[in-house]
A = this chain, B = another copy of it.
């Protein structure tokens, strides 16, 4: 079933069929109609591999994220897909299960999945390593760059946002603020930045650090928040505020606090990070940091598409920073 077949039925040549399906303007109305009829009649669909081969593009991009079942990444994926579709591109999603190996595979597989570029959310692969990989396709990285990165980056200011969140708790009267969500052994990446921002806030406001209030977790799930609170309680460490590194952690935290009989925000104020849709329906509704997902997605897709256009491959790397917002709800005192 080729253009040739359609052409024969319509009584024209393949060239004309091509003109019709590609909306080339200078085709007689009547010819156009005959061709469309033939297409319908035969159930013809164009072979996109052939077109891709000829034109050298697929209009497909890849998006590598740690875990699609986490609301933040689902929202991000949705926003990326929307932005891409607005530019006539489709998106292949590749969850990496927060595994180093799967992240590497995702980067290497880009081309073999027909994608012309990739938006990459790193968790396990650090920038030095990333910058040494040879990927053979344009990349936009969603994280804070260090020094002169090899690829375009889109980021939010994790450290500043974390500081703003922590200071908001302090302004509400909290003095013993727990920070929940640093991964064991992590010294880099968003969680580490958020911890630094937390410490900044304490230092600037003259509050002593207490390492017992910095709770590491194995991941960023609700269960991690719940376990963190249990650990805090079990070791009898007093606390009157919690900065959860993600809203999912915060959801687990709120659950645990409720079960243990703490009043939020009176006994303990809680702030999250991500502004998931879910967070406004928690009880009490969660104060959180809105990272501006739509803006992140827009910048990422725009930059990737620019980079994909052949003439821009060598242009200087661009690092885009997206503004965050503090969303004030009922889980904190103001």
Residues of A within 8 A of B (CB): 40, 43-53, 58-60, 67-69, 71, 74-75, 77-78, 81-82, 90-95, 111-114, 134, 136-137, 221-222, 226, 251-252, 254-255, 258-259, 277-278, 280-283
Question: What are 9 of the A-B contact pairs (CB < 8 Å)?
Answer: A43-B136, A46-B112, A48-B58, A48-B112, A49-B52, A69-B71, A71-B71, A222-B278, A255-B282
Q: Are A78 and B95 in contact (CB under 8 A)?
A: yes
Given known contacts A49-B114, A75-B69, is B90 in contact with A90 (CB within 8 Å)? no
Closest to A68 in B: B78
Q: How many identical subunits does the complex contain?
A: 2
- A58–B114 CB distance below 8 A: yes
Q: Is the CB of A255 within 8 A of B277?
A: no
Contact indicator A58/B68 (Cβ below 8 Å) = no
Residues of B with C-beta under 8 A to A53: 47, 49-50, 52-53
Q: How far is the CB of A254 from chain B (nearest CB, A)?
A: 8
Q: Is the CB of B92 within 8 A of A60?
A: yes
For the complex, give the distance between the alpha carbons of A286 and B113 in Å. 40
> In the complex, A93→B283 CA distance in Å?
33
Give the CA-CA distance A112 to B52 in the complex, in Å: 10
